[in-house]
Amino acid sequence: MDYFLSEEQQMIVDIAKQITDERIIPSRAELDEKNEFPRQILNEMAQADLFGVPIPEEYGGFGGGCLDIVLTLEQFGRGCLGVGTAFAANFLGVYPIIIAGSDEMKQKYLPDVASGKRFGAFGLTEANAGSDASGIQTTAVLDGDEWVLNGTKQWITNGGEAQIYSIVAITDRSRGPRGASLFVVEDGDPGFSYGVKEKKMGIRASSTTELIFKDCRIPKDRLIGRKGTGFITVMKTLDLSRPGIAALGVGVAQGALDEAVRYAKQRNQFGKPIIAFQAVQHMLADMAMGIESARALVYSAAKHIQEHPKKMTKASAMCKAYATDVAMKVTTDAVQVMGGYGYMCEYPVEKMMRDAKILQIYEGTNQIQRNVIGQELNKEYL
């Protein structure tokens, strides 16, 4: 379907599509098998200026909106969710600086992110703080001109690969969510180290590690925004980032449909290609309808977020939950259409199905998204 993209948006799609077809798709199986971080591909994305898409122009980027990043991530998701996740999590890491950082902080970090010189990551989750984001235990205490951080973050995407980490820590436990603050911790800061690299069901090209803070000392000016505003900035960050996860879902679903249709056209059983059987046609039709409706919702939500940055929450949660549920269903059905071949590692759909599962879990489970939508509806109707 034609979404009447602008010339600039079409250009972004074309560049991301080229990198996906020429660089990501040919190497995705090997990256997955070796659990290898796609450093070289990310460098090429940087050379193509794609790291500058959502960075404001005054800090070296293009000043693109939510739809621009969504279009990029849709393409990368079509190629490999591991690579797409690494790219998306970089922005999750720097959105807090864009949303709440001072001008000096933006000057210090954003141009390097836009050029791909430095890479970001986001540290919220802990062993006992997943869906309950305000339940974090990591602390930050001001000691003279330095903050001292103690605690452990878990399952952090881009851990060990990023240079800039946005970390949420408690600065006043008595104030609940109002007692959390956000900090920039840099790779190499004293007292900051990485735990083991996790082994995962899917998205194996992305790195997932613990971040360990043991009397980690950082300068006072690494506080992002004001003390006590960390939780609200985290919520805004997730509102801004979730459409990108939805776009990864649209992308992987499209990739799976492409494989399933091609296969159904050339696989002969009972004397004809299996696409001639209505049972298969109906499955492919449902997959195509799911993808197109998810794409329409994600693009509309992204445009809404660009125009109404103070009213992001419901649109963001809706597109994240819907598109990633579609991704799980479509990738599973692609395996079904391809039967035994679909289950084998030599075809890409088994990886797509393994990869898609995380989309329903990370950046807030789809159950949490439904809670958020319900709460927003409750506020809207008097």
Residues that bind ligand COS (CB under 6 A): 124-125, 131-134, 177-178, 231-232, 235-236, 238-239, 313, 362-364, 368, 372
**In the complex, least distance from residue 50 CB atom to ligand COS, rounded to whole angstroms:** 21
CB 181 within 8 A of CB 247: no
User: Smaller CB distance to ligand COS: residue 252 or 337?
Assistant: 252
Q: Calculate the alpha carbon distances from 144 to 218, 281, 349 in Å.
A: 11, 68, 55
The number of residues making up the chain comes to 382
**Of 171 and 313, which has the nearer Cβ to ligand COS?**
313
Q: Which is nearer to ligand COS, 117 or 311 (CB)?
A: 311
Please identify, using beta-carbon distances, which residue of 12 and 100 lies nearer to ligand COS: 100
CB nearest ligand COS: which residue?
364
Report which residue type is found at 214: K
For ligand COS, the closer of residues 52 and 123 by Cβ is 123
CA distance 34 to 319: 32
Per the structure block, which two tokens stand in for 165? Answer: 């980490």
Catalytic (active site) residue 380: no
Q: Closest CB to ligand COS among 62 and 91? A: 91
The active-site residue, picked from 74, 210, 259, 363, is 363
Q: Which residue numbers are catalytic?
A: 363
